Amino acid sequence: MRSVKFVLSCALLIMCLSCAKHQTRPTVAIRQGDPPVFTISGRGILDDLVIRGPIQKCSGNGSWSNGPAPLPYMEVYWEVAPMKDFDIHQLTDLGPIVYGKVPEGFRQYGPKSGAPPPICEGGPYLVEIHIRNGSGVSTSFLIRNGKIELEPHAAD
């Protein structure tokens, strides 16, 4: 009888641990704005936040000179990383990250200097969150009729 209780207890513990891992997976929410705003939640040590966009950039007035860029040619538009370890479950203390504005306690790696390219109607764009243990999340998005449309992807 004891061995049955032990086996059942172990099975329950394994199920709870796997559910907890699934629930704490990093996520990113994107709020439309000029510029867009990114909110990160989840668990783990944040290594960096990267925004990628088409190699053919839109103009500063929010439109494309020759129509939206073809896929899949993308490059880093903006990359920021904490200056010291930042446990991602505490990012609610950080608050939303506004595209192009380096949060306090972070530094910008891309572009090397100056502001990142504008994010315009159309796209596509990609936001990536890299977590120290190798996991993370990436979400592709585009702006259509002034609204953000998302397509999440796991980045394990």
**In this predicted structure, what is the pLDDT of residue 36?**
93
* Per-residue confidence (pLDDT) for residue 19, from 0 to 100: 47
Q: What is the structure's pLDDT at 22?
A: 46
Q: What is the pLDDT of residue 8?
A: 42
Q: Which residues pair with 105 in a beta bridge?
A: none
> Which residues of the chain fall below pLDDT 50?
4-8, 10-11, 18-23, 156
Which parts of 6-121 are beta strand (E)?
Answer: 27-31, 37-41, 46-54, 74-82, 97-98, 106-110
What's the rounded Cα separation, in Å, for the pair 34 and 79?
A: 18
